[in-house]
């Protein structure tokens, strides 16, 4: 196999069987990053030297290592997941130059499975955003149209996989931050059940919502990464003590006759015509493969966005209080006459955080403040329970719930920068899975009239990722969009993209 054609984990395994080395594979992907990422800006940091050293160590194990299911597979890691010896900044000035002394559990497990970390990917600051424009390093571009956003907050990871700069990548998903960029970039993005994957080493945004998950070009690749990193972790009290099923079997054994619920009532307004058409075609494809499609009611789904934007900022306000300039990372310089503790706190947080992070801290602090806690935060938690009850009722009848991942396809860079509310309502179909803790996957399901990707979202029962993977694998057979890399014909030519 020509190394220039490597795209998936299966391709990497085939190349190693054909005589390539892990160093060869790593060198190929590092070369792609060096050649293409100057324009795309998917990476905040490339780890060429440690990656090649790691690949060389793997080569000494030989090509057949059954205990290393990800042998030699390059992986990109979102820059809010700790990596020992590599910068982890959450794309924020307040963590500029921070190098963790430890690996996140997911990084430990993936490297133990043979993966090679090739770099840290760009994201919205502290994962707060849906465009990857809220980053101190600047925006990432969508590989399908460099004038457009890649989605967020895990836009760098999604763009890297879509552009074939890494076969797989890690992201985090608090309100849709894996699935939305997966949809915008035309790849697979999986948010596991809350507690399925350890959050130890993830820089917290909203602790009851955050979950780490994989990006890949195929369902099988997402399953392989999930298999390697899932399972209980004594260092994370929120990780579930639940056995990890054979995720690979779910991807390898397509589920062709599931019962799938579609909440048609919530899709009647606010969905772009191109997205609606692609979703309808996807539903027809599900029927063609043998699925039974029924209407389901999610009466409280309309409250998901306001509920999310109370719960998530409230938890962010608490979590980000630790960034105060005292213990590590950025500290604002002060004149000797102004060098009081309160002034240091104030200036460090004012200068270290970007506008979107400060906006959400203020929203959360208000929701938790005396006199407003019951009216906002407590009420949001009560509605959160009602949303979960809706899904529990639906799963008495269906194996999965299907809807578009996003109401629109990717929009232009800067188009919504001054309208945060318009960005927030883009989470209308994704936030529920985080509020309920349910697993969800976004699958590429077509293109709109501008040639931009559309995502199909499937939401499943808690700890039943295998069913989602099985349905996704069956759908992938009907609509193999992943085989089509971004093309020059999609959207605006690169030389017409606006400067950032």
Strand partners, 121: 43, 78
| Nearest CA among 5, 120, 4 for reference residue 51 | 120
305 and 180 in contact (C-beta within 8 Å)?
no
* Element of type H or E holding 27: helix 22-40
> What residue ranges do the domains of the chain occupy?
3-299+386-496
Q: Which among 78, 91, 92, 135 is annotated as catalytic? A: 78
Give me the catalytic one of 91, 92, 130, 153. 153
Cis ω on the peptide bond leading into residue 277 (within 30° of 0)? no
Q: Which of 114-123, 183-192, 489-498 bottoms out in mean pLDDT, i.e. has the lowest?
A: 489-498
Structure tokens at 346: 């104030």
- CA 97 to chain centroid, in Å, comes to 23
pLDDT over threshold 50, residue 493? no
pLDDT of residue 338: 76
pLDDT-derived band at 500 (thresholds 50, 70, 90) equals: very low
Cα–Cα separations (whole angstroms), residue 131 to 106, 158, 279, 414: 24, 11, 22, 9
Decide: 118 and 23 in contact? Cβ < 8 Å: no
pTM: 0.95
Mean pLDDT of 331-337: 85
pLDDT exceeds cutoff 70 at 496:
no
**The three-state (H, E, C) secondary structure of 255-305, written as one string:** CCCCEEEECHHHHCCCCCHHHHHHHHHHHHHHHHCCCEEEECCCCCHHHHH
> Are the CB atoms for 261 and 398 separated by under 8 Å?
yes
Instruction: Classify residue 370 by burial, with Cβ atoms within 10 Å: 0-12, 13-18, 19+.
Output: exposed
pLDDT in tens, 211-238: 999 999 999 999 999 999 999 999 999 9
What's the whole-number mean pLDDT along residues 155-184?
98
Give the model confidence (pLDDT) of 351-399 as tens digits: 999 999 999 999 999 999 988 999 999 999 999 999 999 999 999 999 9
Could you tell me the two tokens for 137? 């390093």
Please say if 153 is a catalytic residue.
Answer: yes
- Please, which pLDDT band fits residue 421 given cuts at 50, 70 and 90? confident
Is 191 known to be catalytic? no
Q: Is 177 a catalytic residue?
A: yes
How much of the chain, in percent, has pLDDT values that exceed 90?
Answer: 88
* Helix H or strand E encompassing 456: strand 453-460
Out of 177, 198, 317, 442, pick the active-site residue.
Answer: 177
**In this model, does residue 23 exceed pLDDT 90?**
yes
Q: What is the mean pLDDT of the chain?
A: 94
Residue recorded with tokens 């008495």: 396
Each residue's pLDDT tens digit, 277-321 = 999 999 999 999 999 999 999 999 999 999 999 999 999 999 999
Residue 470 has pLDDT above 60, yes or no: yes
* pLDDT above 50: residue 491: no
One CATH from 1.10.150.20, 3.10.180.10, 3.90.1300.10, 3.40.50.150 for 3-299+386-496: 3.90.1300.10
């Amino acid at each position: 196999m020509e190394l220039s054609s490597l795209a998936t984990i299966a391709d990497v395994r085939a190349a190693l069987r054909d005589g390539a080395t892990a160093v060869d594979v790593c060198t190929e992907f590092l070369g792609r990053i060096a050649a293409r990422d100057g324009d795309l800006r998917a990476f905040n940091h490339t780890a060429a030297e440690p990656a090649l050293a790691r690949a060389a160590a793997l080569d000494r194990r030989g090509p057949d290592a059954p205990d290393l299911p990800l042998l030699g597979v390059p992986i990109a890691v979102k820059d809010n997941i700790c990596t020992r010896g590599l910068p982890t900044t959450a794309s924020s000035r307040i963590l500029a130059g921070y190098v963790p002394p430890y690996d996140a559990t997911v990084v430990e497990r993936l490297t133990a499975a043979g993966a090679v970390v090739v770099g840290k990917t760009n994201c919205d600051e502290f994962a707060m955003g849906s465009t990857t424009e809220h980053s101190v390093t600047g925006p990432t571009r969508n590989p399908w149209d460099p004038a457009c956003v890649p989605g967020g907050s895990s836009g760098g990871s999604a763009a890297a996989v879509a552009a074939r700069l890494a076969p797989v990548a890690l992201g985090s998903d608090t309100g849709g931050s894996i699935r939305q960029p997966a949809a915008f970039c035309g790849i697979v993005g999986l948010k596991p059940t809350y507690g399925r994957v350890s959050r130890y080493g993830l820089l917290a945004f909203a602790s009851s919502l955050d979950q780490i998950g994989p990006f890949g070009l195929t369902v099988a690749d997402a399953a392989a990464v999930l298999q390697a990193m899932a399972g209980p972790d004594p260092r994370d009290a929120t990780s579930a003590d639940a056995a990890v099923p054979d995720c690979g079997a779910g991807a390898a054994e397509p589920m062709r006759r599931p019962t799938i619920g579609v909440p048609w009532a919530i899709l009647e307004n606010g969905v772009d015509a191109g997205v609606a058409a692609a979703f309808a075609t996807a539903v027809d494809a599900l029927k063609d493969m043998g699925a039974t499609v029924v209407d389901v009611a999610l009466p409280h789904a309309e409250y998901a966005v306001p509920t999310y934007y109370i719960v998530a900022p409230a938890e962010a306000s608490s979590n980000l209080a630790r960034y105060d300039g005292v213990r590590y990372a950025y500290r604002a310089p002060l004149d000797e006459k102004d060098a009081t503790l309160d002034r240091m706190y104030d200036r460090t947080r004012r200068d270290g955080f970007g506008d979107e992070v400060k906006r959400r801290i203020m929203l959360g602090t208000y929701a938790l403040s005396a006199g407003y806690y019951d009216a906002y935060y407590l009420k949001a938690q009560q509605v959160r329970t009602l949303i979960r009850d809706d899904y529990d009722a639906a799963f008495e009848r269906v194996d999965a719930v299907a809807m578009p991942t996003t109401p629109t396809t990717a929009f232009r860079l800067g188009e919504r920068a001054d309208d945060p509310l318009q960005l927030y309502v883009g989470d209308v179909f994704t936030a529920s899975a985080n509020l309920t803790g349910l697993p969800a996957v976004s699958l590429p399901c077509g293109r709109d009239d501008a040639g931009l990707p559309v995502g199909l979202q499937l939401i499943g029962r808690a700890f039943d990722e295998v069913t989602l993977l099985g349905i996704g694998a069956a759908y992938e057979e009907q609509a193999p969009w992943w085989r089509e890399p971004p093309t020059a014909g999609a959207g605006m030519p690169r030389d017409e993209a606006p400067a950032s």
